[in-house]
Amino acid sequence: EPEVTQTPSHQVTQMGQEVILRCVPISNHLYFYWYRQILGQKVEFLVSFYNNEISEKSEIFDDQFSVERPDGSNFTLKIRSTKLEDSAMYFCASRRREGRGANVLTFGAGSRLTVL
Amino acid sequence: AQTVTQSQPEMSVQEAETVTLSCTYDTSENNYYLFWYKQPPSRQMILVIRQEAYKQQNATENRFSVNFQKAAKSFSLKISDSQLGDTAMYFCAFPSNTGKLIFGQGTTLQVKP
């Protein structure tokens, strides 16, 4: 079964450092998402991406965050200068545009970010 | 505003028993989908079941079923014959009109042997 792949599974970084989280969505999917989950809390929407541009972003997704689809397969989330409160699990998700299951988001296994 | 509410932060059930997790939501949409996701200790998000609002019949996936009450905007998850592997956090989710999923706060379910 096709899956969304995320790397790294766990990254530890120092406060103020830049971090790039990578995702390879399912190949025929056209909508891409990043979500964040602070340990033990709800899953929060960060940003959605379609047709090579951001279609929606939350208030969490400030100027420190950016997303990119550099090569048509990878979908990256960059945090420019990490803060302690960025420590969380980051989930990438994707979905199709049309057809049965187009409304279903498939999630990656997550990238755990620890900021020290 | 579209919201999803799970009012049970934690629940427990004995192995082989049945448990029901509650979820309510608010929307002005008429045609939509609802989802339950499971998050085991590995923290992966796994789709458990989905319901299409225009279908009156409640969705069922093996031991998992839903009680969908559209007028009441209620979407509860029933787990029958609970197994130890069902121990996880369960999230109710609702897609907004822009396509993103809105999640409830989650219910942590502990299945006891």
Residue in chain B closest to A92 (alpha carbons) equals B45
| Interface contact B43-A56, CB threshold 8 A | no
Each residue's pLDDT tens digit, A48-102: 999 889 999 999 999 999 999 988 789 999 999 999 999 999 999 998 876 556 6
The C-alpha atoms of residue B2 and residue A107 are separated, in whole angstroms, by: 22
Q: Are the CB atoms for A10 and A19 separated by under 8 Å?
A: no
Question: Out of A41, A105, A110, whose CB is closest to B101?
Answer: A105
Chain B residue numbers touching A42 (CB-CB < 8 A): 91, 103-106
Interacting residues of B107 by C-beta distance below 8 A, sequence separation 6+: B6, B8, B9, B10, B11, B21, B22, B89, B90, B91
| Chain B: residue whose CA lies nearest to A102 | B99
Residue A85 lies in a domain: yes
Structurally, chain A folds into a number of domains equal to 1
Is A80 domain-assigned? yes
In a domain, A110, yes or no: no
Above 90 in pLDDT, residue A104?
Answer: no
Q: Report the number of secondary-structure helices (H) and strands (E) in chain B.
A: 0, 12
Per-residue model confidence as pLDDT tens digits over B47-71: 999 998 888 899 999 999 999 999 9
Q: Return the CATH number at B89.
A: 2.60.40.10
CATH number at residue A17: 2.60.40.10
Two tokens, residue B42: 């590995």
Q: What is the mean pLDDT of chain A?
A: 91
Distance CA A29, CA A26 (A): 6
**Ramachandran area for residue B106 (φ above 0: left; ψ -120 to 50: alpha; else beta):** left
Residue type, B95: P
Total count of domains within chain B = 1
Domain containing residue A15:
5-97
* A103 lies in some domain: no
Q: Where does residue A101 fall: left (phi above 0), alpha (psi -120 to 50 degrees), or beta otherwise?
A: left
Average pLDDT over residues B18-35: 90
Chain B residues with CB-CB distance to A56 below 8 A? 98-100
Which residues of chain A have a CB within 8 Å of the CB of B103?
42-44
Quote the domain boundaries for residue B11.
3-112
